[in-house]
Amino acid sequence: MAERASSGPPRGRRRGSPDTRSAILAAARSSFAEHGFAGTTIRAVAASAGVDAALVHHYFGTKDELFLAALELPVDPRKLIAPAVAGPVEQAAERFLGVFLTAWDDPDIRPSLVAVARGIMDPAANRLLSEGVLPVVIEPIGVALGIDRPAERMPLVASQVIGLILMRYVLVVEPLASMPRDRVIATYAPTIQRYLTGDLP
Amino acid sequence: MAERASSGPPRGRRRGSPDTRSAILAAARSSFAEHGFAGTTIRAVAASAGVDAALVHHYFGTKDELFLAALELPVDPRKLIAPAVAGPVEQAAERFLGVFLTAWDDPDIRPSLVAVARGIMDPAANRLLSEGVLPVVIEPIGVALGIDRPAERMPLVASQVIGLILMRYVLVVEPLASMPRDRVIATYAPTIQRYLTGDLP
DNA sequence: GTCTATAAATCGATAGAC
DNA sequence: GTCTATCGATTTATAGAC
C-alpha cells in the first residue's frame, strides 16, 4: 500500500535507520571540524552519536571513508553560487561575497564547510582543494562570469576568500569574527572586484 | 687545555651532542609540517633522526614541548620585518610583501614556517595564531607603521597574506605557486596598501 | 541492525642498564 | 648521553552473539 509507482528516480529512505546513519555523519562532521582528521576518533564519533563504535564501521567502513562521507556537503555548491553569476559583472564581487557568507553563516552547513577547510589543511587529504573545491566550485564561477583569464584571476579571488574564511570562521580571530556581514562585504568587495575585472600586472 | 677564560657570557656548545639534538629538531619540524601535530609520532621523529624514541623525551620532554621547540623559528620574525616598517607608509605594502616573500622563499626557514602554518590549522594548537603570530608579529608592524586603528586593519592584512601563503607555499596551487616574486608583489600590493591606509567602511 | 568482547597494533612516557 | 625494555593507555578493526 502507498508503494511508489515506477516513475522518477528512486527517492525515499534507504535501508537501515536513516536517523542513526545521519546522526553518525553529523557527529563525524562536528568532530572532524573541531579536532581535525587525526584528532578525531571513531569512538568519540560513536559516543557523540549515541551508538557503538562498531556501528560506525558497519556503515562507513574505514576512518578514511567516514572522512570522505563527512565532507559530502549537504548542499550542492554549484546551486548555491548560481546567484553570484547572474547579474552584471561590475557588482559580481558583492554577490560573490554575499552567497559565500550566507553559506558560512548557515548553522546547518557551516560544520561541513569547516570540516572541508580543515581537511584541506590536513596533508592526508589536501588534494581536496586542487582537485575538488577549486575546479568544481571556484573556477566555474569565473568562466560563467565571462571574465578575462579566469584560471589566473580566480586563484587570486580564492586566496583572499580562503584567508577571510580562515580568520573569521575557523580560527575565529577578532574583529573579523564578530564583524557584521554587510561590513565584511563592503570591506572585501573592492579587493575581489579588482581580482575579477581590475588591472593586474 | 684551551679552556675558555671566565669572561663574557657562556658561549659554545652545551652539554650533549648538538648534532643529535638538532637532528631531532629538524626531524620534528619535517614531521609536524608534513603530518601535522596529531599525525606526528615521537617514534617516527626518532627514527627519522636515527636515534631512539627515549632520547627525544630526554631532550625535549613531552610531545607538546617538542612541538613548541620545533616552532621556534631559526630567525627572529621581528628582526626580519624591520625593513618593512622603515620607510614611507605609502609604500609599506610593497616592503611588507617583500620581506614576507623573502622569508618564505628561503629554503632554510620555509619548513619552519610551513610547520607554523600547519600548526595554526591544527585545533590542538591553534592558540598559536591568536596568542603568537598575530600579537607578536603582525600587529606590531601596524603599530610601528603608525597606521590608523591597527587592531582593526592588521587582521585584514593578515587575512590576505595568510590566504596567499596558503595557496602559494602550503597547498602549492598554480599559477600562484610558480608566479615570480615581483609579480606577486605587484598583484597584492594594492590590496595590502588599501587595508593599511585606504578607506574602509 | 545493534551491541559485547576482544584481537592486534601503536601510542606517549618512564625506569634503569651501560 | 644513549639505548633496551616495558608499562599502561588508546586506537582501529574484526568476530560473533542477540
Mean pLDDT (chain B, rounded) = 84
**At CB < 8 Å, which residues of chain A contact B?**
34-39, 118, 120-124, 126, 129-130, 134, 151-152, 155-156, 158-164, 166-168, 170-171, 173-176, 183, 186-187, 190-191, 194, 200-201
The partner residue sitting opposite A190, judged by closest CB among B36, B151, B194, is B194
Whether the upstream peptide bond of residue B175 has omega within 30° of 0, thus cis, is yes
Residues of A in contact with B137 (CB under 8 A): none
CATH superfamily of this structure's domain A77-197: Tetracycline Repressor, domain 2 (1.10.357.10)
Q: In the prediction, which pLDDT does A84 show?
A: 87
Confidence tier at B11 by pLDDT (50, 70, 90): very low
Q: Residue B18 has what pLDDT?
A: 62
**Residue A80, pLDDT score:** 82
Closest approach of B187 to chain A, Cα-based (Å): 6
- The better pLDDT of the pair A42, A137 is held by A42
pLDDT tier at A28, thresholds 50, 70, 90:
very high
DSSP string, A146-160: T-SSHHHHHHHHHHH
Task: Find the Å distance, CA of residue B20 to C1' of nucleotide C8.
Answer: 33
Contact A169, A181 (CB under 8 A): no
A 10 A CB-CB count for B70 gives: 26
pLDDT of amino acid B44: 94
Query: Residue A124: its pLDDT value, please?
Result: 60
**Residue range B133-149: mean pLDDT, rounded:** 83
Question: Which bases along strand C come within 7 Å of a protein CB atom?
Answer: 1-5, 10-16
Average pLDDT over residues B55-66: 92
Q: Do A36 and B38 touch (CB under 8 A)?
A: yes
Say what percent of chain B tops pLDDT 90. Answer: 49
Contacts of A183 in chain B (CB under 8 A): 201
Q: Residues of B near A (CB-CB distance < 8 A)?
A: 34-39, 118, 120-124, 126, 129-130, 134, 151-152, 155-156, 158-164, 166-168, 170-171, 173-176, 183, 186-187, 190-191, 194, 200-201
Cβ contacts (< 8 Å) between A151 and chain B: which residues?
175
**Taking 80 as the threshold, does the pLDDT of residue A120 lie above it?**
no
Confidence of residue A184 (pLDDT cuts 50, 70, 90): very high
CATH annotation of A18-71? 1.10.10.60
pLDDT per residue over A43-58, tens digit each? 999 999 999 999 999 9
Q: Is A40 in contact with A118 (CB distance < 8 Å)?
A: no
| pLDDT at residue number A6 | 36
Test the A interface: residue of B159, B169, B184 with most A CBs within 10 Å: B159
pLDDT surpassing 90 at residue B183: yes
**Per-residue confidence (pLDDT) for residue B141, from 0 to 100:** 86
- Whether the CB-CB separation of B201 and A175 falls below 8 Å is answered with no
What pLDDT, in 10s, does the model give residues A61-115?
999 888 888 877 777 777 888 888 888 999 999 999 999 999 999 888 888 888 7
pLDDT higher than 90, residue A188 = yes
* Among the ranges given (A30-39, A133-142, B9-18, B40-49), the one the predictor scored with the smallest mean pLDDT: B9-18
CA distance A3 to chain B (A): 48
Q: What's the pLDDT band for B170 if we cut at 50, 70, 90? A: confident
pLDDT at A13 (0 to 100):
38
pLDDT (0 to 100) of residue B43: 95
- Measured CA to CA, the distance from residue B28 to residue B26 in angstroms comes to 5
Estimate the share of chain B in helix, then strand, then coil, as percent rounded to the nearest 5.
70, 0, 30
- CA A50/CA A24 separation, integer angstroms: 8
A38: DSSP letter: T
- Domain boundaries along the sequence of chain A: 18-71, 77-197
Query: Is it the case that residue B2 has pLDDT exceeding 60?
Result: no
Cβ contact A150:A142 at 8 Å: yes
B134's grid cell: 598575530
Q: Which pTM value belongs to this model?
A: 0.80
**Residues B61-110: tens digit of each pLDDT:** 999 888 888 887 777 777 888 888 888 999 999 999 999 999 999 988 88
Q: Is the CB of A41 under 7 A from strand C?
A: no
Least confident window among A7-16, A100-109, A124-133, B152-161: A7-16
Between CA B66 and CA B74, with CA B69 as vertex, the angle to 5 degrees is: 145
Residue B117: is its pLDDT beyond 70? yes
| Amino acid identity at A183 | R
Percentage of chain B lying above the pLDDT 70 cut: 85
pLDDT of residue A2: 33
